[in-house]
A and B are shown apart, each in its own frame.
Chain A
Amino acid sequence: MKISPHKHQQIRLKNGLITLILLCLLGTLAWLSTRYSAETDVTGNSSNSLSQASQKLLGSLPDKIQLTAYIKKDPSLRSQIAQLVARYKRHKADLALTFIDPDSQPEKNPRTEYRCGRRYYCRISGP
């Protein structure tokens, strides 16, 4: 086959398209993997799983649960809290967690937020 500049350009275009399709395919697979997932806890004492009693209690709660954590922008602390909540979220899908930084958003004080409506205000303070 004689390679003319035109032919060369065609092959380049084809190669580019194949790469693009490949990347789209991998992106789709990544998206699908987040939609349909399965987990298994391999630790010896099942430290990542909820106990039977907690699971039962969580199942008996009919309403949506909205958790708001009023803590400073500390990535390690926030990820620890997110990890703890994720353990519960696995058994109750409509459980949501949001973070509010009391320094940058002082108007969103938990006291004023929870004055009206039937909401539970639970405060967990550190040592």
Chain B
Amino acid sequence: MSMILTIASREFRSLFLSPMAWTILAILQFILAFLFLTQVEAFTTLQPKLASIEGAPGLTDIIVPPLFGNAGIILLLVTPLLTMRLICEERRNKTLSLLLSAPVSNIDIILGKYLGILGLMLLIIALITLMPLSLLFGAELDLGKLFANILGLLLLVNAFAAIGLFMSCIAGHPTVAAMGTFGMLLLLWILDWSVGMNDQRSELFEYLSILRHFQNIQSGLISTVDVSYFLLFTATFIALSIRSLDNDRLQK
């Protein structure tokens, strides 16, 4: 356990040594702050109309789900860049053999790398959450719905990071890993679109679609199906990463 944390904290700190993490944090925050302000603006113009409708969407409904939904899309683009180096770079720098021959198990290495990148993701989510929370100074928020959105985004980035880690394990070059991760995430994201195009709905495609599960959680209805989808998704790719590293240890 202590080895996992050592690898994780080393990975987390090394992210901040290069300008990469800082740049991503700054750009993400800037874009999302702009989107957040657009939503607040939309709410203030809609407010007089909404007041006359019974059961109209409230402040939280108008601001929080679009903000977290957009954050999900932007993280889909950003995660491949963050995860591409995890194992791939070690292999290219020939430091992977050093790591593999150290007295740590493959599980420690993979989980450590995963937790390290997850640390940065948590930081991003915390910064995003601060924006709607700042509204508490002058308005009331539906904290339940906000919680559901945070949970949704958290599970989403868990899945993104796991798939990125796996791609970094099997790819020979970081760019290939990034492209692979991006392609796979985008495919899983848009899988839902084809579902709506046919009259018959495919249950398998519906289940596999990341977007559907994410939106279900975002609506505030937390179902064990959606939560376990993300947990199983993450577990699958972490397990596959460990297996792939096992194969590496054997064959090289």
How many chain A residues have a CB neighbour from B under 8 Å?
A: 38
> Are the CB atoms of A42 and B222 closer together than 8 Å?
yes
> Are the CB atoms of B145 and A42 closer together than 8 Å?
yes
> Are the CB atoms of A15 and B250 closer together than 8 Å?
yes
In the complex, B178 has a CB within 8 A of chain A:
no
- The distance from the CB of A47 to the nearest CB of chain B, in whole angstroms, is 7
Question: CB-defined interface of B170-214 with A at 8 Å, one 1/0 digit per residue?
Answer: 000000000000000000000011011111010000010000100
> Are the CB atoms of A75 and B144 closer together than 8 Å?
no
Closest to B206 in A: A82
Q: Majority SS of interface residues in chain B? A: helix
In the complex, A100 has a CB within 8 A of chain B:
yes
In the complex, B69 has a CB within 8 A of chain A:
no
> Are the CB atoms of B225 and A15 closer together than 8 Å?
no
For window 27-47 of A, CB contacts with B under 8 Å fall at 29-30, 33-34, 36-45, 47
Further contacts, 10 of them, CB under 8 A, given A23-B236, A79-B212: A18-B243, A30-B228, A39-B224, A42-B148, A45-B58, A47-B220, A75-B192, A76-B196, A100-B199, A104-B199
A40 proximity list for chain B (CB < 8 A): 221-222
A26 proximity list for chain B (CB < 8 A): 232, 235-236, 239
- The distance from the CB of B196 to the nearest CB of chain A, in whole angstroms, is 3
A–B pairs, 29, beta carbons within 8 Å: A8-B251, A12-B247, A15-B250, A18-B243, A19-B239, A19-B243, A26-B236, A29-B228, A33-B228, A37-B224, A38-B223, A38-B224, A39-B221, A39-B223, A41-B222, A42-B145, A42-B220, A42-B221, A42-B222, A43-B142, A43-B144, A43-B221, A47-B61, A48-B220, A73-B197, A75-B193, A75-B197, A79-B192, A105-B199
